[in-house]
Copies of this chain bind each other. A is one copy, B any other.
Amino acid sequence: MSTGLIGLDWGSTHLRAYRYDGEGRVLEKRALGHGVRQLPAGGFAEAFAQAVADWPAAPVIACGMVGSRNGWHEVPYLDTPSHVDRLANALTAMTTTDGRAVHIVPGLRDPSRPDVMRGEETQVAGVAALLPEVARRGCLLLPGTHSKWVSLRDGAVTGFATVMTGELYGLLTQHSVLGAQLPPAIDDAQAFLRGVDTARDSGAAGALSCVFLARTLMLDGALPASSVADFLSGLLIGDELRIALASGWANAHDSVHMVGEGPLCDRYLRAAERFGVVLRTTPDTTTSHGLWRIATAAGLVSTQATA
């Protein structure tokens, strides 16, 4: 089948390539370890060549850290509030050494904090395409190393904020006294919920007022060493939800749409229940949907290919 578009989701640690037909169906996808911080010898050009090897020539669109200061080509942020359709008008084209054009999606910047994202704006565009009612009025949660909470109104991203939940979890379990000399983590659902409830019940003080519990509960014999990591996971995910409610990013009346699938999202679902927050899930294909939507809005997909 003819190739209408090639899309790249190119972050710090991953490079995913999608080959679409002329109607937005993904014909083939590839996952490479060549993130912006993990490039092969030969750099961006070589990583790109590997990602699209043997694929027919087609327009190329890319999102993520590839457009950052340390990326292949720096692309300025779009400031919020910004309608998701503006992303298509703000693509920056660069030309590879062998003459191919790569169109890079700009990141978004919320000047009120300030805060920034690169890659998630394309997921947001994908959600907006899939769920128009959420684009009209919605709150999105994109969990991860740096979780994002995004507000949508009438098709525009009105603002967003980052919580470094995943990175903090890594720091505390791998580098702090709390994680030192622990046996391998088991998946202790009870310890996880204990952490969630501890964050919830910490009120305005928040999780940093009680994170030392991960150690003292263990010393007390009240938390097995192999459950400390789950307790910390619950404490930090719980604190993210506590923060979202305290900051007004979310409220207990409206549902929140969580983007993604898998074990991490399952943790957020279990934690949200303890807060009475309704999390709805969207499929994990939002980036490939978003790349397609932005490319078509920009007129990148040739009518020949769609024929």
Contact = CB atoms under 8 A, between A and B. Distances in A.
A174 B207 CA distance: 21
Q: Within the oligomer, what is the number of copies of this chain?
A: 2
A27 interface: no
Contact of A113 (B116, B167, B208, B216): B216
Interface stretch (A1-9, A80-88, A239-247, A278-286): A239-247
B114 A211 contact: no
A212 B240 CA distance: 13
B167 A177 contact: yes
Contacts of A113: 210, 213, 216
Interface stretch (A14-22, A122-130, A158-166): A158-166
Given A113-B216, A219-B116, A247 B209 contact: yes
Contacts of A114: 213, 216-217, 220, 222
Interface of A: 69, 113-116, 146, 161-164, 167-168, 171-172, 174-177, 203-213, 216-217, 219-220, 222, 239-240, 243, 246-247
Given A116-B216, A216-B115, A171 B176 contact: yes
Contacts of A203: 204, 246
Contacts of A168: 208
A205 B205 CA distance: 8
